[in-house]
Amino acid sequence: MGFEEFVLAAVTADLSVEPAAREHADAVEFRLDLADDGRARLDAYDGDLPLLVTNRVEWEGGEAADEPARIEALERAVEHPAVEAVDVELAAVRTGDYALLEHARTHDVAVVVSVHDFEETPERGTLSALLTEAAELGDVGKLAVTAETRGDVLALLSATHEATAAGERVATMAMGEAGRHSRAVAPLYGSRIGYAPIDPGDATAPGQYDLATLRRLIDQLQRE
């Protein structure tokens, strides 16, 4: 996954559902932090869709304990032949430990450097700064914020467009009901990754569409 084009990822902690994602998804985001015996499930995976592996830490909305075991699990995961991308938080990379990034690239695995704000949408300048920093450290800089108003979504889309015009690869989305439409619209402004559960009841972030719905919306918008 080079993310030259938009990638729609089916989000799951259960890789056995991958066949149900094939019709609509380009990849699967495997949530190690939510999986029951995630390592064994990954070792047994023989599906068709490439994997983006995430082991989200508790302080950024996941269930994984803090380093070093969490990062070590990601380092092992990138060695799996089906894993083509790995997600790591910007805050974790800022500590100066680039071992995961280097290990991933040794195995030809793309790195998504991510930021999640479950409280608010930062001001416009901060949005751009975060996207630039994340994109410079990773192959894609991901920014998910919480929108309270349409103005919040507009600020995020503007930052997305600006980053894309500057040659940065970014993935953006506004969480919450006020930002729900951003998941369908952001690809028009340059966002390279979308996330959706196969089953609406399995959403891992506020405001997610289910996979089939998001695929339909994005395809319709891109044809217009």
The mean of the pLDDT values for the chain is 95
Domains in the chain, number: 1
What percentage of the chain has pLDDT greater than the value 90?
Answer: 88
pTM over 0.75: yes
Q: Look at residue 97 in the predicted model and tell me its pLDDT.
A: 80
Q: Look at residue 67 in the predicted model and tell me its pLDDT.
A: 76
Q: Look at residue 141 in the predicted model and tell me its pLDDT.
A: 98
The reply to whether 40 falls in a domain is yes
Cβ proximity of 27 and 1 under 8 Å: yes
The reply to whether 78 falls in a domain is yes
The reply to whether 47 falls in a domain is yes
Q: Look at residue 8 in the predicted model and tell me its pLDDT.
A: 98
Lowest mean pLDDT among 21-30, 61-70, 81-90, 190-199: 61-70
User: Is it the case that residue 207 has pLDDT exceeding 70?
Assistant: yes
Task: Identify the three-state secondary structure at position 75.
Answer: helix
Tokens of 122: 């930062």
CATH of the domain at 102: 3.20.20.70
Burial class of residue 194 (count of CB atoms within 10 Å of its CB; 0-12, 13-18, 19+) = buried
Report the first-to-last Cα separation within the chain, whole angstroms: 26
The reply to whether 96 falls in a domain is yes
Q: Look at residue 189 in the predicted model and tell me its pLDDT.
A: 98
User: Is it the case that residue 173 has pLDDT exceeding 70?
Assistant: yes
Residues with catalytic function: 116, 142
Q: Look at residue 201 in the predicted model and tell me its pLDDT.
A: 76
Predicted confidence (pLDDT) per residue in 138-157, tens digit? 999 999 999 999 999 999 99
Walk across the sheet containing 193-197 and list its strands: 170-175, 140-146, 110-116, 83-89, 51-54, 27-31, 7-12, 193-197
The reply to whether 63 falls in a domain is yes
The reply to whether 104 falls in a domain is yes
Which structural domain range is residue 83 located in? 7-223
The reply to whether 1 falls in a domain is no
Q: Look at residue 224 in the predicted model and tell me its pLDDT.
A: 60
The reply to whether 2 falls in a domain is no
User: Is it the case that residue 211 has pLDDT exceeding 80?
Assistant: yes
C-alpha angle with apex 112: 57 to 91, nearest 5 degrees? 45
Burial class of residue 41 (count of CB atoms within 10 Å of its CB; 0-12, 13-18, 19+) = middle
Cβ proximity of 52 and 30 under 8 Å: yes
